[in-house]
Amino acid sequence: MVTIRVPATTANIGPGYDSQGMALNLYNTFTFEKKDVEVDERNLIYRSFKYLYEKNNLKAPYVEIKVSTEIPMSRGLGSSASCIIAGLMAANEMSGLKLDKKEILKYATDIEGHPDNVAPALFGGHITSIVNKQVYYSRKEVNNNYKLYVLVPDFELRTVEAREVVKKEVKLEDAVSNIARATLISDALYNGDFELLKGAAEDKLHEPYRKNLINDYDYFKKICENNNAVLFISGAGPSLLVITTKDNSSISTVLKESNNSEFNWKVYELEVDIE
Binding residues for ATP: 72-82
Q: Which residues, in sequence order, are bridge partners of residue 147?
A: 244
Burial class (CB in 10 A: 0-12, 13-18, 19+), 27: middle
Smallest CA-to-CA distance from 44 within 112, 129, 130 is with 112
Judged by CB under 6 A, the chain residues 207 through 246 that form the site for ligand HSE are 235-236
Q: How far is the CB of 166 from ligand HSE (least distance, A)?
A: 7
Which single residue brings its beta carbon nearest to ligand HSE?
Answer: 236
Closest separation between CB of residue 227 and ligand HSE, Å? 25
Closest contact distance (angstroms) between CB of 72 and ligand HSE is 14
Q: Which stretch binds ligand HSE (CB under 6 A): 31-39, 52-60, 109-117, 239-247?
A: 109-117
* Cβ neighbours for 172, distance < 8 A, ≥ 6 positions apart: none
Q: How far apart are CA 266 and CA 259, in angstroms?
A: 8
- Specify burial of residue 64 (Cβ count, 10 A radius: 0-12, 13-18, 19+): middle
Tell me the closest approach of the beta carbon of residue 60 to ligand HSE, in angstroms.
25
Return the residue of 55, 101, 139, 163 that touches ligand HSE, per CB under 6 A.
Answer: 163
If the CB atoms of residues 80 and 259 are measured against ligand HSE, the closer one turns out to be 80
Tell me whether residue 136 is exposed, middle or buried, using C-beta atoms within 10 angstroms of its C-beta: 0 to 12, 13 to 18, 19 or more.
Answer: exposed
Q: Indicate which single residue of 56, 74, 145, 159 sits in contact with ligand HSE (rule: CB under 6 A).
A: 159
Q: Which residues contact 267 (CB under 8 A, 6 or more apart)?
A: 149, 150, 151, 252, 255, 256, 259
Binding region for ligand HSE (CB under 6 A) out of 59-67, 92-100, 110-118, 134-142? 110-118
Burial of 176-186, coded b for 16+ CB within 10 Å and e otherwise, reads: ebbeebbebbb
Per CB under 6 A, the list member of 6, 14, 18, 205 interacting with ligand HSE is: 18
- Decide if residue 116 touches ligand HSE (CB under 6 A): yes
Residue 117 lies near ligand HSE (rule: CB under 6 A): yes
Which residue positions form the known binding site? 72-82
Which phi and psi angles does 201 have, rounded to 5°?
A: -70, -20
- Binding residues for ligand HSE, rule: CB under 6 A, are 11-12, 18, 114, 116-117, 159, 162-163, 235-236
